[in-house]
Structure 1
Amino acid sequence: MTSSISIIGAGNMGTAIAGLALAAGSEVQVVARDVTAAEAVDPAVDAAELGKPLTGDVVVLALPYPALDDVVATYGDQLAGRTVVDITNPLDFSTFDALVVPADSSAAAELAAAVPGASVVKAFNTNFAATLATGTVGDVPTTVLAAGDDADAKAALAAALDGSAVRVVDAGSLRRARELEALGFLQLTLAAGEKTAWTTGFALL
């Protein structure tokens, strides 16, 4: 059975994730404020303007954390019954010195509370776009860590990428999203401080 995935966002991360899904043989829709940007991702994608109906069983929110509220306002009803993948790192980008969610919560937990009918999965936030595009971190395959309370939802994400260059590893329940966000925070600050490159990242051996 062919997987279908809608990716909201046509930036570097959205483009990289779309490429992986296409390589896996999934049907891909890219939704963006500027449909020209969505069309530029790949000729094989179904490009749509923000607000158009979603076609994927898996919906990836390839957007910055502050944009999540707008997406929920636009698509809240449509997200019910779907696997919704949150890739955000809720960083204070003015200081690069703190996460902006409570220590006992996460962006993914906030999203799950806002769309209770959806199965929220945290994934991709510990990956840079470059390592998704190449499928490698150094000389090992890129690993996508996925956290969520719904095993079927995590399996749906893995199925949508099965056959691509990356591997999806189950990182546990949605409570693990806060650790993934902390890891993403660390990786971003290291890259921003030029301690590591934006073309590399953490690897799981």
Structure 2
Amino acid sequence: MKVGIIGTGNMGRVIARRLIHGGHQVFVAGSSQEKGRALAQELGGQGPGTIEAAATKDAVASGCDVVVLATWYSQSTRIAVELSDLLRGKVVVDIANPFNETFDGLITDYDTSAGEEIQRRIPGAHVVKAFNTTFAPVLADDAFDRTVVDVFLASDSDEAKARVAELVESSGLRPIDAGALRNSRVLEQNALFMVELQGRYGLNFQAGLKVLAAQALPFPARAAAHA
């Protein structure tokens, strides 16, 4: 697939690297052109996929199947508003957690979430919450502690979820269908809980959420999307 990634921080970097290894065509946009070019140069040639730097609007409008907002919540909401017309009809992946300044609470109201707020700003797009419970050091490992990393996906569009699930699986990760977009509230609360555990146990963000099941967990939305 063609994937636009907005953001060149730790999460943008590891997601881009994963997608390149999965054989996808990545367009990356940073807060400056220099940051985008630096990341493209750093990751270029590291897998069967490709990566090139692009301006933010170009990363969205370059025929991308999926656009990843790998930015802080405040930046993601701003980008969603500014590029709402360009994002119409696209699958938009929101990875943000709406943490407060002290990382001990969320700034969103109890009856909404970052994922839902992003969707509200771009009603013509299909928002998928993903990667918000997977810290960058965990994603950087091919099989964290010899266990495939789980990525929880929440969206009101089964087809959009299935498309992101294909990206996740091709990148060596396991997609978990987390239901409707309103479940972003639960995922974001879980991310907050995981941040607290980092401090309590000194985990250095090398920990993640994992579903342990006695049977295989096929991605149900994929079958529905291709039916």
Shorter-chain TM-score above 0.5: yes
Q: How is 1:28-107 mapped onto 2 (pairs within 5 angstroms)?
A: 28-41=26-39, 42-43=43-44, 44-54=50-60, 55=62, 56-93=64-101, 95-107=102-114
Per-residue deviation, 1:66: 1.2
Counterpart pick for 2:17 among 1, 16, 19: 19
Q: 1:5 matched to which residue of 2? A: 3
Letter in 1 for 2:9: G
Query: Using the alignment, how far apart are the partners of 2:142 and 2:149 within structure 1?
Result: 5
- SS of 1:197's partner is coil
Aligned partners of 2:93 and 2:130 also within 8 Å:
yes
Q: Which has the higher contact order (CA 8 A, sep 6+)?
A: 1
Aligned partners of 1:39 and 1:45 also within 8 Å:
no
Aligned partners of 2:6 and 2:59 also within 8 Å:
no
Letter in 1 for 2:96: T
Cα offsets for 1:45-82 (capped at 9, x unmatched):
12112333522211110001111232123311111100
Q: 2:170 matched to which residue of 1? A: 163
Q: How is 1:117-156 mapped onto 2 (pairs within 5 angstroms)?
A: 117-156=124-163
Structure 2: which 5+ residue stretches go unaligned? 45-49, 213-227
Query: Using the alignment, how far apart are the partners of 2:165 and 2:29 within structure 1?
Result: 21
Alignment length (residue pairs): 202
Aligned partners of 1:137 and 1:201 also within 8 Å:
no
Cα offsets for 1:140-179 (capped at 9, x unmatched):
1111100001011011112223322211111111111100
Per-residue deviation, 1:39: 2.3
- Structure whose alpha-carbon radius of gyration is higher: 2
Query: RMSD value over aligned CA atoms?
Result: 1.6
Query: Using the alignment, how far apart are the partners of 2:200 and 2:57 within structure 1?
Result: 37
Query: Using the alignment, how far apart are the partners of 1:132 and 1:32 within structure 2?
Result: 20
The yes-or-no answer on 1:174 pairing with 2:172 is no
Cα offsets for 1:107-153 (capped at 9, x unmatched):
11111111000001100000001111213332211111000010110
Q: TM-score scaled by structure 1?
A: 0.92
Query: Using the alignment, how far apart are the partners of 1:53 and 1:140 within structure 2?
Result: 33
Compared CA separation, residues 74 and 64, structure 1 to 2 (3 A): same
Query: Using the alignment, how far apart are the partners of 2:163 and 2:208 within structure 1?
Result: 25
